[in-house]
Amino acid sequence: MKVRITECLDIDLETETWCCNRCGHPLHGARDDYKKGCLIAERDPDEVYPPELKGQEYGFRPDPNYSRLIEFYCPNCAVLIESENLPPGHPLTHELEIDIDALKRRHGR
């Protein structure tokens, strides 16, 4: 049985695995960070957030000296699972830690 956790992530309770809910591809063990099973790309903020006005040097993008944009993709179907802005040198965040045993009890497994 798969349980929806986020817009693009499910947990397969039988295998205790994070899965892409678009293609079903298993990503990583559900007792660990799903990001370890993703393709990771660091994007240039200038590429993602172009200036709002033509010919203007500045816009509403984060300063690349103080922020980096990290994107996490499914390695099978390439759906964007998550993105985060982090200061340079900051480790990737581990924002989801699910109590798998409680989730199994809740869903009768």
pLDDT in tens, 66-80: 989 999 999 999 999
| Cα distance between residue 7 and residue 50, in whole Å | 26
* Assessment of whether the complete model's pTM goes beyond 0.75: yes
Between 82 and 50, where is the model more confident?
Answer: 82
With a cut of 80, say whether residue 54 has pLDDT above it: no
| Cα distance between residue 102 and residue 107, in whole Å | 9
- The pair of structure tokens assigned to 6 is 């986020």
- The pair of structure tokens assigned to 108 is 């009768």
Decide if 31 contacts 16 (C-beta within 8 A).
yes
pLDDT of amino acid 109 = 66
| Cα distance between residue 91 and residue 102, in whole Å | 29
- pLDDT category of residue 51 using cuts at 50, 70 and 90: confident
- The pair of structure tokens assigned to 90 is 């900051």
